[in-house]
Amino acid sequence: MIMDEEVSIDPWGSSQSTDYSKIIEKFGLSRMDGVFLDSPSKLHRRGVVFAHRDLDLVLNAKKSGDPFGVLTGLMPSGKMHLGHSMVIDQATWFQQQGGDVTIAVADLESTATRGISLAEGRKIATEEYIANYAALGLDPNKTTVYFQSERSIVQKLGFQLGKRTNLTELEAIYGFDGSTNLAHVQAPLVQAGDILHPQLEDFGGLRPIVVPVGIDQDPHLRLTRGLASKTNWFNVSDAKIGLQVGVSIQEDNASVMGVETSGRVNKERQKEVFSNIVEAIRQLGYSDIISNPKHGTVNVPSATSKDKGAIRMALLSLERSMGGMGLLAPSSTYHRFAVGMTGDKMSSSKPKTTLFLSDDITTAAKKIKKSFSGGQSTIEEHRRHGGDPDKDVAYQYMMYFFEEDDSFLEEINQGYRAGKILAGEMKQMCIERATEWLSNLSQKRDETAHLVDQFFE
Ligand code: TRP
């Protein structure tokens, strides 16, 4: 038994920690328990989506009828498997909640880290991924798909943001060292560009953007959130009483802020900046605002943590009107990894570990029959001690993918634990549902094939 295994997440690695509680703690994620959702999807109801960052920004936007966006991405590097479908499940859910959806095809990342040519990446993305996204119910009219290699703003943004970080930070986040290929340094910066660009004026403007991903992608979100806040001209934080806005003087905003190259402060200019801040906050309905240009702060004693989001948004707008980027740190949600069929990690390069969305029924049934079971080694023992649905791949696949009915799942969960349902019977139920799900999908793929092009417009 490994006692003190270091909790680590590597977006390109093959081994990941799956101690989700520890991951939440170590990386400062927020738990999904206690987050109220109007119409949770099955991944929410079952705790598969287990953590988030700043999801409240998005839920509040929805509540008040304000716009919000969804951005996620795919790396075109092989066949699409069930694990990949979770992100689309989530994007579709947010889309149904009113979000506009943008999907990045990470063809640059794929060419840099997997050796897939751009042309090949394009083909895989279109025929394999987007075709399935359409079939899974993503609405082409409310979705835009783009290629990293073709959206120059994404690369430009990545390059600009590179100025706000350094190798030491990337070493800390990704575990890089001197031998790390530079493609792995560039890819996260481009991904930061992916994540942040939808809030630029040309792509929908300032609004919360949520990034639904597997937990392996959280390092990129940590990086991106850090980069965004480092560019911010105004920072909102908790004060002893209420909230405090701090002004951040930077190389590229100093003169706008009234700090001349000599270091001298242009009092007139500074006064104007501070009255702009006060005005932006006043417009939100606060009247007690204490401006302290000397300290570079503005205090709002009657504001609470709950008001942070609104004040932050108002100040980002102000920053933009003054010539800054006004970037809002992205929100995110994280899903767990589905276990591989063999009980190990699911991987496209090991066909036996996963069901592909294009698997035919016979192949799928064969994989499920051979899948790792949480049953006992003999029927007698199973009847006596019961099985473990948490380890049983057939059960897990029904829970993650194939079965919508919560009460039915609960029933077979208990039946399995009690030894009433045998491992073979569990597999049979899974095969039946997988058969239906996969044939359904394949039929949908035919029906929606003509929509694929619309995703790129
Ligand atoms: N890195 C992601 C992967 O490995 C793909 C990706 C690129 C992405 N850009 C993104 C994911 C932006 C989420 C958001 O699959």
Average pLDDT, 10 consecutive residues per value, the chain (457 residues): 66 83 96 94 97 97 97 95 96 98 97 94 96 97 97 97 96 94 94 98 98 97 98 97 97 94 92 97 96 96 94 98 98 95 86 94 97 95 97 97 98 98 98 98 97 93
Residue nearest (by alpha carbon) to ligand 1 atom 10 = 73
Q: Does 144 contact ligand 1 (Cβ within 6 A)?
A: no
Nearest-angstrom CA–CA distance, 290 and 278: 8
| Mutational test site, ligand 1, from 53, 75, 332, max ligand atoms within 8 Å of CB | 75
Centroid of ligand 1 to alpha carbon of 151 (angstroms): 15
Strand pairing report for 331-335 and 290-292: unpaired
Is any ligand 1 atom within 6 A of the Cβ of residue 448? no
Instruction: Tell whether ligand 1 has an atom less than 6 A from the beta carbon of residue 315.
Output: no
Angle (CA) 111-177-2 rounded to 5° is 100
Grouping H, G, I as helix, E, B as strand and the rest as coil, residue 423 is helix
Cα dihedral across residues 35, 313, 255, 262: positive or negative: negative
Measured in Å, residue 233 CA sits from the centre of ligand 1 at 28
Angle at the Cα of 229 (from 227 to 235), degrees rounded to 5? 165
Distance 92 CA to ligand 1 centre (A): 17
pLDDT at 1: 38
- DSSP string computed for 124-141: HIIIIIIHHHHHTT--GG
C-alpha distances out from residue 438 to 177, 199, 248, 318, 451, Å: 43, 36, 54, 50, 20
Residue 344 — φ and ψ, nearest 5°? -95, -165
Give the CB-side neighbour count of residue 345, counting CA atoms within 13 A.
11
Angle in degrees, CA 329, 10, 51, rounded to 5: 50
- What's the CA gap between 83 and 401, in Å, rounded? 9
Nearest alpha carbon, ligand 1 atom 8:
73
The C-alpha atoms of residue 107 and residue 187 are separated, in whole angstroms, by: 10
Ligand 1 atom 11 nearest Cα:
73
Per-residue pLDDT, 5: 60
Coil, strand, or helix at residue 214? strand
Q: Is the Cβ atom of 73 under 6 angstroms away from ligand 1?
A: yes
Determine if ligand 1 sits within 6 Å of the CB of residue 91: no
Atom 4 of ligand 1, residue of closest alpha carbon: 75
This prediction has a pTM of: 0.95
Residue 227 CB–ligand 1 contact under 6 Å: no
Q: Supply the pLDDT for residue 123.
A: 96
Whether 105 is in the pocket of ligand 1, judged by its Cβ within 6 Å, is no
- Ligand 1 near 109 CB (within 6 A): yes
In short, whether 393's Cβ falls inside 6 Å of ligand 1 is no
Query: Ligand 1 centroid vs 32 CA: distance in angstroms?
Result: 22
Contact indicator for 388, 415 with CB cutoff of 8 Å? no
Contact (Cβ atoms closer than 8 angstroms) between residue 196 and residue 228: yes
Kind and range of the H or E run holding 146: strand 143-147
DSSP three-state, residue 94: helix
Residue with tokens 């206690």: 34
Nearest atom (ligand 1) to Cα of 12: 4
Give the rounded distance of the alpha carbon of 191 from its chain centre.
12
CA of 74 to the centre of ligand 1 (A): 5
Residue 236: what residue type? V
- Expressed in angstroms and rounded, the spacing between residue 155 Cα and the centre of ligand 1 is 14
